[in-house]
Structure 1
Amino acid sequence: MTETREAMIKRMRMRSMRRGIKEMDLILSAYADAHIADMTDADLALYDALLAENDHDIYGWVGGQLAVPEEYTKLVAQITEGAHGITRPT
């Protein structure tokens, strides 16, 4: 059975706010709240793949401590825009 768009968005919102580390809960839930409803199917698939990555890796990508894999470059840049003050003081 194929997951509906509505069910996928609901699942991804939950995965965005229930992470392994609190900083990622804050960063990804804020990003999802602001952007997930307007994402294309391709954007949703990419974000879903990102959500499967390790929290410490994602946090390093957003904070600039680790190189971002090419497939996530644009997405991580968008997430980083909204993460100021969480990944580093404003």
Structure 2
Amino acid sequence: MKVMDERRRKLNFRAWRRGFREMDLIMGQFADQHIGAMSENELQEFERLLATPDWEVYAWIVGNKPVPPNYAGPVLDRLLSFEYDPRA
């Protein structure tokens, strides 16, 4: 098993501690599955998403609000189509 570098480890930690349970599950499981293969640009995009208020990102995920063009990108596209396990 490849050891996760410190930056990815910290991002993964932040993904699992969002502020409300649903976002913990979505962002945490997404990070567990994708962060190890993210490029530098994708890591920057993921960091930006983690810095965005949870309720805003959640509204994009559930389709209550459109994604602003300045947030569109490959990581968010994958997150929007990600199917998490709500029972985890």
Give the paired residue count.
82
The alignment's TM-score, normalised by the length of structure 2, stands at 0.82
- Please list every run of 5 or more consecutive structure 2 residues that lacks an aligned counterpart in the other structure: none
Residues 78/6 of structure 1: CA separation in 2 closer, same or farther (3 Å cut): same
- The aligned residue for residue 79 of structure 2 is 79
Residues of 2 paired with 1:32 and 1:64: CA distance? 21
Is 1:51 the counterpart of 2:50 in the alignment?
yes
Residue 28 of structure 2 aligns to which amino acid in structure 1? S
- The aligned residue for residue 27 of structure 1 is 26
Residues of 2 paired with 1:85 and 1:12: CA distance? 20
CA drift of 1:6 comes to 1.2
The alignment's TM-score, normalised by the length of structure 1, stands at 0.81
CA RMSD of superposed structures (Å): 1.8
- If asked which structure has higher relative contact order (CA below 8 Å, sep 6+), I would say 2
Residues 36/85 of structure 1: CA separation in 2 closer, same or farther (3 Å cut): closer
Percent of residue pairs identical? 30
Residues of 1 paired with 2:76 and 2:48: CA distance? 12
CA drift of 1:21 comes to 1.0
Structure 1 stretches of 4+ moved >3 Å: 83-86
Residue 14 of structure 2 aligns to which amino acid in structure 1? R
- Please list every run of 5 or more consecutive structure 1 residues that lacks an aligned counterpart in the other structure: none
Secondary structure in 1 matching 2:52: coil
